[in-house]
Structure 1
Amino acid sequence: MDKKIQVAAIVVAIVFSALVLTSPTDPIPLPLPNSNSENDFVTILAKNLDKPRAIAVSNDRIFVTEKDGMIKVIQNNTLLESPLATLRGADVFDGGLLGIALHPNFSNNHYMYVFLTYEEGDNLWNKILRITESENKLQNAEIILDKIPGSSFTNGGFLKFGPDEKLYVGTGTISDASHSPQDLDSLSGKILRLNDDGTIPDDNPFPNSLVYSLGFRNPQGMTWDDNGNFFVAEFGPEKNDEINLIQAGKNYGWPEEQCSGDKIFEDALLCYDPSIEPGGILFYSGDSIDFESSFIMASMRAANLYQLDFEEGLSSQKSILSGIGRVRDVVQGPDGSLYVITSNTDGKGFPDSMDDKLLRILK
């Protein structure tokens, strides 16, 4: 995993994807652009979602956050009419209700965690709420972490439980001119690691600090491979999107460095120039779908769900799903299927009459 891959010219990637999409050996027959049709491989589980941001899947339900504050529930392949919760967040371009994660023991304790941007006076902040739900209704909500510096454009906001059952959180910088990502006393531009109640784990790399690693601009998707290696996708400033292998206590350079160059910072594994806007990422571990490469990446600007192999580089990057516009997040379900949300109503896309959608890739 120490091989750095520079991914140049997204035009090349798009042309390559076009070739793959027409290949008779494609694992998934893809819907046509702006098509409302379904097939045996891809089904639409929910439509007309409003600025969806993240997905969490339990054994019997799917939860989707919407930027404007709702947690939607899909049960028995049906979008429930009433949201689980409606939270009041800041009305800013890239803030509001963002990430969601379910506790590893969700089936018993019914804890879910969300990342929310809010406004206080003239300041923007982010906080993490632990919600207790019962029968698709909010029973209790408590703030477990507050006063994460907020921004109109770069809040990060993805959060996931790791294999160690700690909660990992990606936070963005307050502006591209800010050096707070390099400040250990700031929660801005960091990967944070929390106990499930928001307290500091004893084995965090910096004493009495939630900071796990530093030097980030706008972290997005998070995932772990079968060996416990931790990866994060990150937006760059119009270019230099990164996929990084995250290690405890390491510095990933922002704003002093983008992608690579200075030995005092960690080099990115992948660097995309121009930007593709990576979203959710995962290492596929099921056996329901026959992927050539296990690393799966949602892409908004390149409007694809990709698979790729770090060692083989750009030649291995192939489209799994296209023709649905911007792809925001992807997660794996307990049965090995994939769940995907589009992001066409976020102000950057071109929504059709059914957007945004939650889709399931079955095989």
Structure 2
Amino acid sequence: MDCGIISLRFNPDQSMFIACMERGIKIFNVEPLVLQCHLETRPYGTASQCYIYSRSNAIMYIPGGSKPKLGKNHAIFYCKDQDKVVGELKFSSDVVAVRMTHNRCLVAQETQLHIFTFPDRMKFLITLPTIQNRKGLLEVSASRMSEYQIAVFPGFKTGSIQILDLNNIESSTSSAPVFIAAHENPIACIAMDLQATKIATASNKGTLIRIWDTRTRNQLLELRRGTDPASIYCINISPNSEFLCCSSDKGTVHIFAIKETHFNKRMGNTLRMIGGQYGESQWAFANFTLRSERPCVCGFGEQKSVFAICMDGGIHKYVFNPDNGSCSREEYEVFYHHDIEK
């Protein structure tokens, strides 16, 4: 069944998700499942991507889909309180990602990143070059409480990322970004925790996820999704920074512990001798497989639960227990036809 879903994304604390659809942009509360905002197609057009900062009233989106009002070279700002578009930025070529913090707006094109002040005046600050970034890989500090406000995006070399201090940017100048050689293959997915202390990266090979300390640049963990290559759709770190989940085209969502890592599985001595490089990896302590063949994004709910939100319009809730590695589906709903709660 074609639900007309163009893209899906959780908000930073994973309490909401955004669905860009041919019927417009819909923003849902996850638990309970309630449609909180609907930007209908007729006045606003369709969008390829949408971003909301935390649970704020500011929404940023990129035109796309079958009925856009403007070209893909625009970044649009919508205010829920005023129920209208309050600004737009136009660029010379397509925009591939948009992000916001409480005082910065970031717009990525395929080979560069632009940074502006936000929300006052939208003053241009700086443009930084990147390697080819067709996937629009870009993450920013999501918590206003965090003193460490950073942006993470691809570096100049294959498999590298760069970390930029957003607090230390003046017009046309900034401190030099910090680089991490994260993988040998091109970066395919980036995630960051709410506290801006950890970054998770995966390459287009999709077998390993590496966790990095944002301040020291040291690798903290190496997690193994599997041994067969895969396309990773999504990585998310739980709001308390204790767990990580990832989804891929294999149809399986994996759950890892990144604080109390003794929960993760490790190969026994015999398999370690046979497995070579695989024997030292930390494997997911729990996983579940979805019947849907459509891509899904995953995020954490309350009470040790994971939600998988799929392009077929379904939302699955699984509850896990790190002590014994159990994982079972507790709820299933279809979200794409939900109306706003009156």
Superposition TM-score tier, normalisation by shorter sequence = 0.5 to 0.7
Q: Secondary structure at the match of 1:96?
A: strand
Listed as ranges, the gaps of 5+ residues in structure 2 are 251-290, 305-321, 323-342
* Match of residue 107, structure 2, among 149, 163, 171: 171
1:73 aligned onto 2:28: yes
Listed as ranges, the gaps of 5+ residues in structure 1 are 1-47, 133-139, 182-188, 201-208, 253-263, 286-293, 346-350
Task: Map residues 170-249 of structure 1 onto 2, 5 A cutoff.
Answer: 170-173=106-109, 176=111, 189-195=113-119, 199-200=120-121, 210-217=123-130, 220-223=138-141, 228-235=147-154, 239=158, 241-246=160-165, 247-249=168-170
Q: Could you give the per-residue CA deviations for residues 254-310 of structure 1, whole angstroms, max 9, x where no partner exists?
A: xxxxxxxxxx9824332445322343322548xxxxxxxx40325463546542225
Whether the 8 Å CA contact 2:11–2:54 is kept in 1: the answer is yes
Alignment CA distance shift 1:66-1:306 (3 Å): farther
Percent identity between the two aligned chains: 5
Partner of 1:125: 74
Whether the 8 Å CA contact 2:49–2:97 is kept in 1: the answer is no
Output the CA distance in 2 between the equivalents of 1:277 and 1:251.
29
Q: Secondary structure at the match of 2:138?
A: strand
Task: Map residues 36-75 of structure 1 onto 2, 5 A cutoff.
Answer: 50=5, 52-56=7-11, 61-66=15-20, 69-75=24-30
Alignment CA distance shift 1:72-1:331 (3 Å): farther
1:354 CA displacement: 5.8
Q: Secondary structure at the match of 1:73?
A: strand
CA-atom RMSD in angstroms: 4.6
**Equivalent residue letter for 1:98:** C
* Match of residue 326, structure 1, among 220, 232, 237: 232
Q: Could you give the per-residue CA deviations for residues 115-161 of structure 1, whole angstroms, max 9, x where no partner exists?
A: 232556777322111224xxxxxxx5322221332744x52212233
Task: Map residues 7-46 of structure 1 onto 2, 5 A cutoff.
Answer: none
> TM-score w.r.t. structure 2 length?
0.53
Partner of 2:188: 277
Q: Could you give the per-residue CA deviations for residues 25-77 of structure 1, whole angstroms, max 9, x where no partner exists?
A: xxxxxxxxxxxxxxxxxxxxxxx994544322679x42234376432424435
- Identify the structure with the greater strand proportion: 2
**Equivalent residue letter for 1:233:** V
Output the CA distance in 2 between the equivalents of 1:64 and 1:149.
24
Partner of 2:98: 157
Alignment CA distance shift 1:322-1:52 (3 Å): farther
1:360 aligned onto 2:306: no
Whether the 8 Å CA contact 1:282–1:296 is kept in 2: the answer is yes
Whether the 8 Å CA contact 1:337–1:360 is kept in 2: the answer is no
1:244 CA displacement: 1.4
Q: Could you give the per-residue CA deviations for residues 78-118 of structure 1, whole angstroms, max 9, x where no partner exists?
A: 4x5x6842554888xxx722322245xx5xxxx24232325
**Equivalent residue letter for 2:234:** R
Whether the 8 Å CA contact 1:70–1:83 is kept in 2: the answer is no
Output the CA distance in 2 between the equivalents of 1:231 and 1:344.
30
1:85 aligned onto 2:9: no
Instruction: State the number of aligned residues.
Output: 244
**Equivalent residue letter for 2:9:** A
